[in-house]
Structure 1
Amino acid sequence: MALLRRGGRRESNIWPGFVDAMTALLLVLMFVLTIFLVVQSVLRETITTQDSELDSLTSQIASLADALGLERQRSEDLAAEVTQLGTDLTAAQSEGERQASLIATLTSTLAARESDLQAATARVTSFEAQVATLLADRDKARGE
């Protein structure tokens, strides 16, 4: 009967095939997981680098915005100063025109006074000549 059992039934053991298939699936799974881990590591490094660059650019933008704000304030201050200087210039020009008018008035007054002085000097000279003539006539009349 021992021969019958052995010879009549051919039992094939399928477990080694399952083990080989499971091992192959496990190796493929490990390979895929390894690839995913490498890709995840590379992507994490890329994202970290991009985050640091983004932070750097954000700080640069903030500093440029501050600088722009300061320049705008400076520009507004300079515009106000230009306006004030324009107002001062207009006031100085009107004052200059007023003083030029005053100078012209004083010059004409001075010319009139000088002509009056010359006329008075001429009258004084005429009076002196008359006095000298009268004194000469008196001396002549006494001498006669």
Structure 2
Amino acid sequence: MSLPRHLQSSQSDSGDYWPGFVDALATLLLVIVFLLAVFTAGQFALSQALTGRDEQLAQLNSRLASLAEELNIAQSENEQLSLRVSVLNQENGALQETNAGLSSQIAGLQDGLAAARASLAEEEALNEEAQATVALLNNQMAALREELARLNETLNASEAREAELEAEVVNLGRRLNAALASEVARLARYRSEFFGRLIEVLGDRSGVRVVGDRFVFETDVLFASGSAELSEEGRRSLAPIAGAIIQLTGEIPDDLDWVLRVDGHTDRVPLGPNAPFESNWELSTARSLSVITYFESQGVPPRRLLAAGFGQHYPIAEGRTQEAYARNRRIELKLTSR
């Protein structure tokens, strides 16, 4: 009985597929090599086109990248070392538990061996079975002692490595703290210059003073009672500060991440039923946002501004007098890191 023609043809041609497959692979390899050559030429042309970039921009980017990379590496190494210390602590605990278990087994075997020896000593002669039992116990005890010695060596090595890792963690922490302290010191220098400029600009203007590391405006100078809308006098008072902030923005290096925090505070007197705000929280926050909105309208970069409202909960003057209330109704400006 003969097979159909298409079956006969498929059986006769089954050995001819491999050369075609090899040719297809060779063609694909040539295409890939060509594409790699085109990609390499494109990369070379692109690198040549980018070599003319501004040198100062490259230096600033290099400094920023170096500092960011060093901090990221330090933090990454710190996390990895902490994880490794945790793993070693777990392994150390497991080895100690195993050590305790083996010590307990050795003690049990020693008790069994002592009992077997005492029983055999009472007999006149040891039979072969008793001798085999003693030999087996001796072999098991020797094996357990060797295992115990190996585990003790592993435990000592683990403890030594743990001490080294802890020292590395402490060293990395010191390096990271030193880097952060350097950034804080740089920011403190600019903060001092900024406050010096504000003091020169505002002079002895009433309702404005420096308290610690903050520049304080009494809100009676900036806002009407119960309102969060800046008055004309308030705008005039804030205008030179906006100019000083813009000038400071151009002087502080880009790799120093800073913000000007605007804190709103009120007195402890509750708002009336007809007030536009439900609480002193909302009033203090709205006033802070009004100052930030004004600074932004004067050209201060929004990313360098931060608003916060504290209500009546952080007074700087005690008592229930009108003078104390006026001092507690304030806007504070603080130059700080983000």
From the two aligned structures, give the one with the greater helix fraction: 1
- Give the TM-score of the pair, scaled to structure 1: 0.49
Q: Which has the higher contact order (CA 8 A, sep 6+)?
A: 2
- Give the TM-score of the pair, scaled to structure 2: 0.23
